[in-house]
Amino acid sequence: MHRVSRRNFLKTGVSLSAATFLAGGNKILSRSQIGAPAGAGPCVVASNNGLEAVEKAMNMIRSGSDPLDAVIAGVNLVEEDPEDMSVGYGGLPNEEGVVELDASVMHGPTHNAGAVASLRNIKTPSRVAKLVMERTDHALLVGEGALKFALAHGFKEENLLTDKARQIWLRWKETLSERDNWFPPKMDKLAEELEPYISSYGTVNCIAIDSAGNLAGVTTTSGLAFKIPGRVGDSPIIGAGLYVDNDIGAAGSTGRGEANIITCGSHMVVNFMGLGSSPEEACLKALQKIAEKTRLQPHLVDDEGRPRFGLSFYAINKKGQYGSGSMWSGSTFAVHDGNEKKLKETAYLFKRDKNSRATRLRR
Ligand code: ASP
């Protein structure tokens, strides 16, 4: 399969992506046309906080587990880890100091999916999402309804706000404005340690193919730190934060959810793979499309018209090939290719320089 190197892709930039999108847009290739033999896996890919997750999932797939059970068990490690402040227990809370979780799962062989959004007090939203898929006639449950559903299935309510996450939230609240009644403490060591987290966010996505060529994926997150209560990101939206087509491939994402929701990013990545792109090319083409659309929202782009936010896609195709692409340079992703688990650099659209501000967004 023709492969566009990162350098060539970057050189050709916007015009290439638009031309390729249009040229390939009228024909969906069949499985045999993209040379997709069954049995090309196993392979597991995740965002860079999922290095242990890919290992866990690979071990389970090798022991015969369904790929969806395997990736969920993988991300459970991250959801239950209080040190990961972007997912599950220990995740950064909303603006009122309450942790609200989003998650989705999708199972290739049955083309079925389930999701929960704004779920409070349950450590492992990915497991609840799987039950939505298996034990309801729905695809997405939110808020109080999602919590009641989880409790009905025996999940235990727990306080998800760790002391560290509470202190970071408090620091954010106290430094938000000089015109309110909350005062920050005098600068001390703790405050300095917390500073890097003030604008941080994150998610874990994990996708897999087994040796029979069956695909599955999961995306789970505490979402944007200090969000407006009830804000839902891309992670629980099928087609945005996750998409699986068992005939083509799987894709998932991390980063600015709003940009991804309004472009159906993961669906777009899978679609590009169906049109013949490699996983890496498909991720970059979707990012290119998102970057082009973002120019219509001037407050989201820098002086050079580049998005002022981070967004990454992760993809595996039916042949077991994998790849990842990020809006900005400097990101990594986790993979277990059947031999070993490792972190690899993502391909990227824009090289980060001193003028690029990919994380702090202010209108
Ligand atoms: N995609 C997540 C969201 O928008 C956040 C992230 O991945 O950092 O909720």
Cβ of 257 below 6 Å from ligand 1: yes
Is 11 within the bounds of a domain?
A: no
Q: Is 203 one of the annotated active-site residues of the chain?
A: yes
Question: pTM for this structure?
Answer: 0.87
* Cα–Cα distance measured from residue 107 to residue 332, given in angstroms and rounded to the nearest whole number: 25
Answer yes or no: is 83 within a domain: yes
- Whether residue 223 has its Cβ less than 6 Å from ligand 1: yes
Amino acid at 145: G
State the pLDDT at residue 355.
61
Q: Does residue 74 belong to any structural domain of this protein? A: yes
Can you give the pLDDT at residue 1?
34
Residue identifier of the C-alpha nearest atom 4 of ligand 1: 257
Count of structural domains within the chain: 1
Distance CA 268, CA 283 (A): 9
pLDDT in tens, the chain (363 residues): 333 333 333 333 333 333 333 333 344 444 334 434 445 779 999 999 999 999 999 999 999 999 999 999 999 999 999 998 889 999 999 999 999 999 999 999 999 999 999 999 999 999 999 999 999 999 999 999 999 999 999 999 999 999 999 999 998 899 888 899 998 887 666 666 666 776 666 899 999 999 999 999 999 999 999 999 999 999 999 999 999 999 999 999 999 999 999 999 999 999 999 999 999 999 999 999 999 999 999 999 999 999 999 999 999 999 999 999 999 999 999 999 999 999 999 999 999 986 655 443 433
Q: What is the CATH number of the domain that holds 91?
A: 3.60.20.30
E-assigned strands of the chain? 43-47, 101-107, 112-119, 140-142, 204-209, 215-221, 242-245, 249-255, 311-317, 322-328, 332-336, 341-345, 347-350
Q: What residue numbers bound the domain in which 139 lies?
A: 36-161+200-350
Q: How many residues are recorded in the chain? A: 363
- Residue 181, token pair as written in the block: 């009644």
As given in the structure block, the two tokens for residue 247 are: 């005939």
Q: Is residue 225 helix, strand or coil?
A: coil
Cα 2 to ligand 1 centroid, rounded to whole Å: 32
Describe the crossing of helices 143-152 and 125-135 by its angle, rounded to 10 degrees: 80
Verify whether ligand 1 is closer than 6 Å to residue 49 (CB atom).
Answer: no
- Which residue from 6, 32, 45, 16 is spatially nearest to 341, judged by alpha carbons? 45
Is residue 176 in a domain?
Answer: no
Q: Does 49 map to a domain?
A: yes
18 domain residue, yes or no: no
Catalytic residue among 20, 124, 203, 294: 203
Mutate to test the pocket of ligand 1, among 101, 206, 232, 235 (most ligand atoms within 8 A of CB): 235
Residue 213 lies in a domain: yes
